[in-house]
């Protein structure tokens, strides 16, 4: 049964402490919002076979562990208002079949073994977040009006040691960026890896991913990445990542009426 996690629940962070990228997401979200009162954003699904955890941020519901009843999970997506659902394929497959949502399959990689050293440009820095978001907008098409909430969350994580964003500066502009945006005591999820077209092919992305993964491993934390781009997968494999699983990023099909009602920020 899926039940809400109370604010300041002493068990949630312990249950979300495994070397799992989705538990890293739960932990980051809980450290940001878990102590607040108001509408629940965190849930657990208990069964004789184990515990599943769920967390909602924006319109995206992340799921980890064991959620034994796919009909309950499918119904819960409607109850909590999720427009997107992400987790491992085996966790979501039956529920998504009931929902009929669109599925984007992505590869989950981890670097549990030794890393392969990559070049480290002298220009590696912790760049201004305004420049980071501008590069992410240009690379991934992020909406301009989503900058303020993104900035508040990422700057809070950096100030409180919950994340780090690195970049390479060249010719007075940010050429590449990558960061650890979600982590717990066992897993760190590296994300938002982007390079400006004019600076691609110089090894900047590999160097940043290596630097972040190396920092995580020095703390005894397993680094993870999630992507669907074959070229990016090859880049991560050169750094020392290997396949860990398959993510399903599922989206509720939108009618024309629904599309008109949803802002660009919510669509992402």
- Report the relative pairing of strands 102-110 and 84-88 from DSSP bridges: unpaired
| Spatial CA neighbour of 253 closest among 104, 42, 140 | 104
Q: How many domains does the chain have?
A: 2
DSSP string, 180-237: EEEE-SSEEEEEEEEE-GGGTTSSHHHHHHHHHHHHHHHTT-EEEEEE--HHHHHHHH
| pTM of the full structure | 0.91
Q: Cβ-count burial of 253 within 10 angstroms (0-12 exposed, 13-18 middle, 19+ buried)? A: exposed
Same domain, 99 and 124: no
| Spatial CA neighbour of 27 closest among 245, 19, 110 | 19
Same domain, 186 and 207: yes
What are the tokens at 99? 């929902």
Dist. CA 209–CA 235, nearest whole Å = 9
Q: Torsion angle of alpha carbons 183, 247, 165, 111, nearest 10°?
A: 70
Domain containing residue 178: 110-247
- Written as tens digits, the pLDDT of the chain (268 aa) is 999 998 888 899 999 999 999 999 999 999 988 766 667 799 999 988 889 999 999 899 999 999 999 999 999 998 999 999 999 999 999 999 999 999 999 999 999 999 998 777 778 899 999 999 999 999 999 999 999 999 999 999 999 999 999 999 998 899 999 999 999 999 999 999 999 999 999 999 999 999 999 999 999 999 999 999 999 999 999 999 999 999 999 999 976 444 443 333 333 3
Q: Cβ-count burial of 139 within 10 angstroms (0-12 exposed, 13-18 middle, 19+ buried)? A: middle
Same domain, 176 and 163: yes
Same domain, 68 and 163: no
How high is the pLDDT of residue 262? 37
Same domain, 42 and 125: no
Same domain, 212 and 131: yes
Same domain, 239 and 166: yes
Same domain, 103 and 119: no
Q: Cβ-count burial of 70 within 10 angstroms (0-12 exposed, 13-18 middle, 19+ buried)? A: middle
Same domain, 62 and 190: no
Is 16 in contact with 184 (CB distance < 8 Å)? yes
Same domain, 50 and 168: no
Dist. CA 132–CA 193, nearest whole Å = 10
Dist. CA 204–CA 176, nearest whole Å = 6
Q: Which run of H or of E encompasses 81?
A: none
Same domain, 128 and 19: no
Same domain, 100 and 141: no
């Amino acid at each position: 049964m899926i039940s809400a996690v109370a604010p300041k629940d002493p068990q949630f962070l312990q249950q979300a402490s495994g070397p799992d990228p989705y538990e890293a997401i739960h932990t980051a979200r809980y450290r940001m919002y878990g102590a607040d009162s108001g509408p629940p954003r965190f849930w657990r699904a208990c069964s004789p076979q184990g515990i599943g955890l769920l967390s909602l941020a924006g319109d995206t519901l992340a799921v980890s562990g064991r959620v034994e009843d796919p009909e309950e999970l499918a119904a819960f997506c409607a109850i909590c208002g999720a427009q997107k659902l992400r987790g491992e394929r085996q966790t979501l497959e039956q529920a998504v079949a009931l929902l009929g949502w669109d599925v984007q399959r992505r590869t989950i990689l981890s670097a549990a073994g030794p890393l392969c050293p990559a070049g480290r440009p002298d220009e590696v820095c912790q760049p201004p977040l305004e420049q980071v978001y501008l590069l992410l907008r240009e690379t991934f098409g992020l909406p301009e009006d989503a900058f303020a909430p993104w900035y508040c969350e990422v700057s809070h994580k950096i100030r409180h040691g919950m994340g780090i964003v690195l970049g390479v500066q060249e010719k007075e502009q940010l050429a590449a960026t990558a960061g650890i945006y979600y982590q717990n005591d066992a897993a760190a999820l590296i994300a938002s890896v982007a390079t400006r077209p004019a600076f691609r092919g110089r090894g900047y992305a590999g160097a940043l991913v290596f630097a972040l993964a190396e920092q995580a491993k020095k703390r005894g934390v397993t680094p993870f990445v999630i992507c669907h781009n074959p070229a990016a997968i090859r880049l991560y494999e050169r750094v020392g990542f290997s396949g860990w699983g398959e993510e399903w990023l599922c989206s509720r099909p939108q009618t024309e009426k629904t599309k008109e009602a949803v802002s660009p920020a919510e669509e992402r």
